[in-house]
Structure 1
């Protein structure tokens, strides 16, 4: 029996059944306080792969840098209404800010640099951790999955995302120094579970930028499985320049290089997430 990179037997996850109805959405926060771990890339490509399987997906850009919006070809700095307005202005609803993308069945709630002000302004809000959850409630019935691409920090915006979410996916680059930061992230998730959102689950830890040729990459994945067990996705995202090429083209790899192994990996991740019950 052939073993996969995580040391478990390689499984082929079944193609999911089509859905007869859509909604209410399962909300998943993509979180890691460390930058450069493939978080935005994974959000875009997982969302696009889920949409290929007939799921209606809303992607929420929750990073003031607006990388998710840019990666989907949306110039968020030119927009008057973004996730910031939805959170901070009573008369602006999520539907007012959502824009369609070039990917079928994928919509975007964009962000730009305005969002950086929200962290400061939220401090004085009542129930400040629940502002995003309230905003998404309006549109949850329109989608099957809502993916929140968080900024690389554990501040109030990320706590908002964790409070709104049903599940967390932790993308983690296959390098040792990335492992050390995860303990702090798990501690934050546990605090949110304890105080704000008892229904929050860790859906999985996703190893990204994996290079099977290096002992280092293989050892990190082994350590990950030792620490997180079955929480580590069997799907591992290998390092390839095609992800950067797709980002420049402002397209998911599933359409930019549909037959590439990187596109297949995110399709497998979508099937694994559905098989685990992490998406409808």
Structure 2
């Protein structure tokens, strides 16, 4: 078991960029910190000199909004890339205020893709096709999945090398993980044999409560060293940063929440899950 108190070294600068490792941020339960983790982990990796692309793959468009992009006013989003084989992802990518952090935005149009893809050939591979042209431009691609195990999430798992599962530190959240792991294994078995679970991230943790501590203990018993030693504590600063449409790493750079995501970024690199 990794030492929960051990820190991880600051990653060495990179000589060049790419090819990207694709990580799907996945949990069919909503409200577990997927988008918060996508935005803040992405920003922390960018701080360490990594080129990061966030793919907003949720029709609610929360990752786009959280990075200051009003996706509802955009004519073209990830939806167009999924549905139009000749659409170029480079034309859709939006730069953010964080250097080295870009985003492919989403809005409510994406909800139609699930229905429209059903009749397509190789429907599970649409997102992998979309991302192929920019793999060499980035070091990490983070896909913010919607809270469901439908066709969009299957597309994310098909495109990904690894899955990061944010898990709220409460007992009901534990129950859905077995179903999620089953879905991941099915995609692994049938479509994407390279896919693996990178790790499980405990979010909304309050170590002052016995409940939080017991849940984390149970998760570690079940998943061993797949559980990141970094934990994300519950704090009002995350919603505050969302309202300010910026990552916590720039909104409150010295806050423990910002430090936690920097530590997670270092842990990912130390584990080999990111360049």
Global fold match (TM > 0.5): yes
Identify if the C-alpha distance between structure 1 residues 21 and 132 changes in structure 2 by more than 3 Å, giving closer, same or farther: same
Q: Whole-Å Cα distance in 2 between the matches of residues 17 and 39 of structure 1? A: 27
Q: Does 1:29 pair with 2:24? A: yes
Contact 2:55 2:103 in 1 (8 A): yes
**SS state of the match for residue 37, structure 1?**
coil
Contact 1:165 1:200 in 2 (8 A): yes
Q: Whole-Å Cα distance in 2 between the matches of residues 201 and 176 of structure 1? A: 24
Q: Does 1:269 pair with 2:269? A: no
Q: 1:116 aligns with which of 111, 124, 132?
A: 111
1:44-55 equivalences in 2 (<5 Å): 44-55=39-50
**TM-score, normalising length: structure 2:** 0.99
**SS state of the match for residue 176, structure 2?**
helix
Contact 2:4 2:230 in 1 (8 A): no
Q: Whole-Å Cα distance in 2 between the matches of residues 125 and 97 of structure 1? A: 22
Q: 2:177 aligns with which of 182, 189, 198?
A: 182
Q: 2:236 aligns with which of 232, 238, 241?
A: 241
Q: Does 1:172 pair with 2:167? A: yes
Give the gaps of 5 or more residues in structure 1: 1-5
Q: Whole-Å Cα distance in 1 between the matches of residues 7 and 179 of structure 2? A: 33
Q: Whole-Å Cα distance in 2 between the matches of residues 39 and 135 of structure 1? A: 22
> Cα RMSD over matched residues?
0.9
Q: Whole-Å Cα distance in 2 between the matches of residues 28 and 266 of structure 1? A: 16
Q: Whole-Å Cα distance in 1 between the matches of residues 13 and 2 of structure 2? A: 31
Q: Whole-Å Cα distance in 2 between the matches of residues 244 and 117 of structure 1? A: 28
How big is each residue's C-alpha offset from its partner over 1:85-125, in whole Å with a ceiling of 9 and x where there is no partner? Answer: 01101221111111101111000000000000000000000
**SS state of the match for residue 106, structure 2?**
coil
Q: Whole-Å Cα distance in 2 between the matches of residues 138 and 45 of structure 1? A: 25
Deviation for aligned residue 1:8: 3.8
Is 34-43 or 88-97 further displaced after alignment?
88-97
Runs of 4+ aligned structure 1 residues displaced above 4 Å come to none
Is 91-100 or 104-113 further displaced after alignment?
91-100
**TM-score, normalising length: structure 1:** 0.97
Give the gaps of 5 or more residues in structure 2: none
Contact 1:7 1:222 in 2 (8 A): no
Q: Whole-Å Cα distance in 1 between the matches of residues 8 and 188 of structure 2? A: 29
Matched residue, 2:214? 219
